């Protein structure tokens, strides 16, 4: 049951392999400014342009992912807040992104800032997003659900860690890159033990890599030692074009498709799609020989 790319927006892109089951990926790192949102929107757009059906859920009250994907998220627009606190259906609040006909977005408005507190007294407060996403996937064909999180480990991020099966951790190639990662890993272990045994760190992506500095190379090396299987071969370079794109309500793939940043994010998305496809094949092979 696979979507084939239609229309001119995706026809020039290489078709990416679709996963056997919907992949739910949470972009997480409790540090701000490490490239979470930039990674979320560009990977989402690259997967969608590669012919895959993508749902992006913006969980950051700042709504930067919504902005970058050309989505209206002014106060009063329904989005993630209504899904978490008012039982709104994802299908009723998602908006099509001008990036690709394969990409829809559940926007974040500033209302979401209150959700962190408003969720506290709710029943099964950390399961809200998981339930909404499961209900949506029961009757919609989606290849990838991607969650962009705020820079904290509060209830919004926790909801995403419970709703997703995979973590994509962007790590900025700078001093103290791994500072705080220990805390994040302990949180992930707790979530696995108590709330979501399926959660795994699937992907680590090195961001803002500066080939001219020794420091970037050293950090990259250290991260690869720490996460040998998860770290993508592709590095995201530091590039001004990447930081300019959101102010035009575009990802780098729309804003400057031939730039180094666009090429890097296309390769990263391809690696993610290929690795997932390979894992599914391995799982199928193991199943068949049992």
Query: What is the distance between the alpha carbons of residues 117 and 67, in angstroms, rounded to a whole number?
Result: 24
**From candidates 25, 26, 28, 34, binder to ligand ADP by CB under 6 A:** 34
> Which range, of 33-41, 49-57, 89-97, 100-108, touches ligand ADP by CB under 6 A?
33-41
**Nearer to ligand ADP among residue 62 and residue 95 (C-beta):** 62
> Which residues are CB-neighbours of 211 under 8 A, at least 6 positions away?
217, 237
Assign 189 to helix, strand or coil: helix
Give the interface size with ligand ADP as a residue count (CB under 6 A). 16
**From candidates 57, 115, 208, 232, binder to ligand ADP by CB under 6 A:** 208
| Binding flag, residue 36, ligand ADP (CB under 6 A) | yes
**Nearer to ligand ADP among residue 65 and residue 90 (C-beta):** 65
Q: Which does 38 bind (CB under 5 to 8 A by kind): ligand ADP, Mg ion, none?
A: ligand ADP
**From candidates 29, 37, 45, 97, binder to Mg ion by CB under 5 A:** 37
> Which residues are CB-neighbours of 82 under 8 A, at least 6 positions away?
88, 93
**From candidates 106, 115, 129, 242, binder to ligand ADP by CB under 6 A:** 242
| Binding flag, residue 38, ligand ADP (CB under 6 A) | yes
Least Cα distance to 108 among 160, 34, 33 occurs for 160
Query: What is the distance between the alpha carbons of residues 112 and 62, in angstroms, rounded to a whole number?
Result: 9
For residue 29, the tally of other CB atoms under 10 A from its CB is 26
| Binding flag, residue 254, ligand ADP (CB under 6 A) | no
In DSSP notation, 25-81 reads EEE--SSTTSSHHHHHHHHHHHHHHTT--EEEEE--TT-HHHHHTT----TT--SHH
Residues 100-159 that bind ligand ADP (CB under 6 A): 151
| Binding flag, residue 17, ligand ADP (CB under 6 A) | no
Contact residues toward Mg ion (CB under 5 A) are: 36-37
Contact residues toward ligand ADP (CB under 6 A) are: 32-38, 64, 151, 207-208, 236, 238-239, 242-243
């Amino acid at each position: 049951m696979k979507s084939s790319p239609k229309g001119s927006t995706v026809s020039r892109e290489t078709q990416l392999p679709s996963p056997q089951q919907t992949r739910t990926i949470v972009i997480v790192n409790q540090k701000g400014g490490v490239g979470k949102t930039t990674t979320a929107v560009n990977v989402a757009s690259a997967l969608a342009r590669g012919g895959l059906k993508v749902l992006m859920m913006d969980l950051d009250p700042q709504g930067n992912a919504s902005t970058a994907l050309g989505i209206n998220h002014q106060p009063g627009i329904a989005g993630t807040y209504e899904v978490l606190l008012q039982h709104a259906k994802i299908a009723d609040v998602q908006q099509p992104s001008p990036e690709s006909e394969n990409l829809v977005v559940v926007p974040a408005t500033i209302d979401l800032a209150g959700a962190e507190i408003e969720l506290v007294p709710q029943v099964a407060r950390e399961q809200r997003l998981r339930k909404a996403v499961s209900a949506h996937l029961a009757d919609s064909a989606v290849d990838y659900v991607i969650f962009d999180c705020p820079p904290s480990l509060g209830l919004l991020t926790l909801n995403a860690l419970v709703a997703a099966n995979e973590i994509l951790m962007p790590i900025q190639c700078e001093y103290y890159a791994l500072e705080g990662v220990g805390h994040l890993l302990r949180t992930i272990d707790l979530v696995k033990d108590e709330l979501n045994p399926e959660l795994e760190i699937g992907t680590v992506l090195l961001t803002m890599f500066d080939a001219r500095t020794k420091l970037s190379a050293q950090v990259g090396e250290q991260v690869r030692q720490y996460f040998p299987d998860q770290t993508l071969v592709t590095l995201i370079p530091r590039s001004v074009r990447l930081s300019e794109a959101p102010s035009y309500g575009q990802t780098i793939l729309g804003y400057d498709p031939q730039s180094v940043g666009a090429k890097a994010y296309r390769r990263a998305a391809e690696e993610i799609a290929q690795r997932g496809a390979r894992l599914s094949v391995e799982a199928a092979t193991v199943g068949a020989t049992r």
